[in-house]
Structure 1
Amino acid sequence: MIVYYSAMRYKDKNKNEAIIQATIQLLNEIGFSEISMSKIAKRAKVSPGTIYVYFENKEDMLRKLFMNVEQKISSSMFQGVHHPMPVRERFELIMSNYIEFILNHKDEFLFYEQFCNSPLVENLYLEDSSMMFQPFYKLIEEGKEQKVLKDYDTMLMLVLIYAPVTELAKQYYRREFEFNNKNVKDLIQSSWDAVKA
């Protein structure tokens, strides 16, 4: 009896994660224009052909990579957040979780920032990915309805909340700012003050 084995290659979670991490690290080091599948394969210690088991092409890889990182950020931000909690309490927990993610995931944060500020975002960004942050959008709308938050445009509110955090995170990674307990508390308070009614 002859047994035929499928030529299909099976996906390995460890290899997939190695490819993801190698891509993020390289993008942070050399940028989007210099990245190539061969460089990623070398860094991940896999053959270039292995990458195509997980991704159709470079664009597919970048899209999936962005979604992967966005999912990690979203999951971290909303950990422990429950609707019955008051608006301010939820706001402070979300911001605290977000800052903690930034401090513990430098590569992912820098990749995310670079991707969001790249021309590629218009071609590769999937609009439905914003659904991952719906709990925060809803929190802002709820805060406006309760007159706890200013009645500003939601996008304006998000910029007032996030911009100081992301800018200080970059300074932190350049060793120009320290995220100690007092600074974190003051940063969350200043974000709240910027949007409270």
Structure 2
Amino acid sequence: MRHKDENKSEAIFQATVELLNEIGFSDISMSKIAKRASVSSATIYVYFENKEDMLGKLYVKVKHRLSRSIINGFDSSLSTKAACELFMRNTLKFMLDNKQEFLFLEQFSTSPLISKLKLEDTSPLFEPLYAFIEKGKRDGELKQIGMLILLSYCYFPIAQLALAHFKGQAEANEEHLGQIIRMSWDAIRA
């Protein structure tokens, strides 16, 4: 068995993310990924069983990075409102600092491929965020509706701001972020 080099694995992941954002799922191939990563096609199979295995592991890896960024600074002393604001600020920071990975997640999460793959459950990664939402519901600070619906009112406006920023349609600045945070809080608070 060949020795695995973490640098090669990361190069393969980065090449895959870049190519997926450039050409999409239908046109990507292991040979294109290998060429972009400056490795042989055979090297990819040292790290991954097949393209689906690689894409699934890449998705989980990016979700791990996202979760670490999103929950950075969370602690039990935060109010529900402060936790929601921190979540939104951290989310936008991740999106702006990791454009390629964010665009990959956006594309992958709407792809039919996601339902075909047996992916690791990433929900435990976001447990601190879920705990704040549940506490906010128990304390009567948040509407008594499903977790995903509440979070969607905080996540999707931020994602749209990041996408508009990348397209040059709107600036992801403090003014716009503040407006979105206030509107999202108004939408989810009890």
Pick the aligned partner of 1:166 from 146, 159, 182. 159
Q: Contact 1:76 / 1:98 at 8 angstroms: preserved in 2?
A: yes
Larger mean Cα displacement after TM superposition, 128-137 or 76-85: 128-137
Pick the aligned partner of 1:180 from 157, 173, 185. 173
Pick the aligned partner of 2:98 from 72, 91, 105. 105
Q: 1:127 Cα shift?
A: 5.9
Q: Which residue of 1 aligns with 2:50?
A: 57
TM-score by length of 1: 0.92
Deviations 1:17-61 (A, max 9, x none): 110000000000111111100000000001111111111110100
- Give the Cα separation in 1 of the matches to 2:97 and 2:64: 15
Pick the aligned partner of 2:133 from 110, 130, 140. 140
Q: Which residue of 1 aligns with 2:19?
A: 26
Give the alignment of 1:15-164 within 5 angstroms.
15-124=8-117, 126=119, 128-164=121-157
Instruction: Tell me how large the CA RMSD over aligned residues is.
Output: 1.2
Q: Contact 2:74 / 2:128 at 8 angstroms: preserved in 1?
A: no
Q: Which residue of 2 aligns with 1:3?
A: none
Q: Which residue of 1 aligns with 2:7?
A: 14
Structure 2: segments with no counterpart, 5+ residues = none
Q: Contact 2:91 / 2:155 at 8 angstroms: preserved in 1?
A: no
Q: Contact 1:71 / 1:132 at 8 angstroms: preserved in 2?
A: yes
Q: Look at both structures and tell me which one has the larger radius of gyration over its CA atoms.
A: 1
- Give the Cα separation in 2 of the matches to 1:136 and 1:114: 23
Larger mean Cα displacement after TM superposition, 38-47 or 9-18: 9-18
4+ long deviations beyond 3 Å: none
TM-score by length of 2: 0.95
Give the residue type in structure 2 aligned to 1:49: A
Structure 1 pair 77–125 and aligned structure 2 pair: CA distance change class (3 A): farther
Q: Which residue of 2 aligns with 1:5?
A: none
Deviations 1:103-160 (A, max 9, x none): 1110000000000000011012526212212222221111011111111122221222
Larger mean Cα displacement after TM superposition, 119-128 or 22-31: 119-128
How many residue pairs match? The answer is 190
- % of aligned pairs identical? 50
Q: 1:84 Cα shift?
A: 2.4
Q: 1:167 Cα shift?
A: 1.7
Larger mean Cα displacement after TM superposition, 118-127 or 24-33: 118-127
Q: Contact 1:161 / 1:194 at 8 angstroms: preserved in 2?
A: no
